[in-house]
Chains A and B, each alone.
Chain A
């Protein structure tokens, strides 16, 4: 592919891949999407939450798992950052602590794909991350 530099290049690229994307989106089932929220406050960022987020985005894409990865605020578990909240379709959210790349891989392999819990779950009385 040629180098993308201007908005026009980006538009051209979008037009080229649009049909492929449409096809993919039509086969989506919104209720099947895995939700991943990465705690992205000072504590999280300082412990590498940005790399964790990048890893989740790339790895889930690589494995063709339908997922939405977003940022969220601090939950007060600064000692366990980066923290990640995962909501599997139809299940209650689960928060994992100390999620570096290795842990992220483990979470995807065990929890996201097979629904098996692993060490490092933060057991709490919280409802969801958002305040």
Chain B
């Protein structure tokens, strides 16, 4: 995975498969403290202790379509390579929290990438999913909540071109305003 956004897109597929209805993605970055963190929380079915322990093993997966499960392993690898850390907490029937930390200035910290596309495509593909994204920097923070957007649209489809362009523009403008490192 080349960007944080791709990791997000990947990890939230796990949440969706775990039947999550609410996913929160938080990116906090601080150049001052040389810190960059990604936290993904879902309310899906969670995992038992044994499964959690094996979850970052690339040769473990809960699927039967293939024999490898690389998503979490890749995120862990990227975080650790960038002088950071990776943790995963989960409880059966109680959701999962994935945290990855990076050193902001580290050469190996992946760039953020097109997080607006990830948010939009995921929300547009899953009608019953609530997906919140919050980004904070030294200058401020921005949050976008799918529920709020859906309410505002009053039944107009997210898939309409004008709406898509508008949402993406709003998302990008706000991230730029708080000095996001792309």
What residue in chain B is nearest A37 (Cβ atoms)?
B125
Contact check: which of A7, A42, A61, A73 meets B74 at CB < 8 Å?
A42
A50 sits at the interface (CB 8 A): yes
Most buried by A among B13, B63, B126, B154: B13
* Contact for B166 among A13, A24, A43, A75, CB less than 8 A: A13
- Give which listed residue, B13, B163, B169, B174, contacts A14 with CB less than 8 A: B163
Q: Which of B10, B156, B160, B170 contacts A42 (CB 8 A)?
A: B10
Contact with B along A42-77 (1 / 0, CB 8 A): 110110001001100100010000001111011110
Q: Are B174 and A73 in contact (CB under 8 A)?
A: no
B6 within 8 A of A: yes
Chain B count of residues within 8 A CB distance of the other chain: 42
Q: Tell me the complex Cα distance, A87–B167, Å.
A: 28
A29 at the interface (CB under 8 A from B): no
Contacts A45-B9, A50-B9, A68-B159; is A76 near B117 (CB within 8 Å)?
no
Q: Is the CB of A4 within 8 A of B160?
A: no
B65 near A10 with CB under 8 A, answer: no
- In the bound assembly, the distance between CA atoms of A61 and B149 in angstroms comes to 22
- Which of chain A's residues have a CB closer than 8 A to the CB of B5? 50
B173 contact set on A, CB distance < 8 A: 3-5
Chain B residue at smallest Cβ distance from A16: B162
In the assembled complex, the Cα of A53 lies from the Cα of B169 at a distance in Å of 18
Task: Pick the residue among B65, B124, B169 that contacts A4 (CB under 8 A).
Answer: B169
CB distance from B151 to the nearest CB of A (A): 10
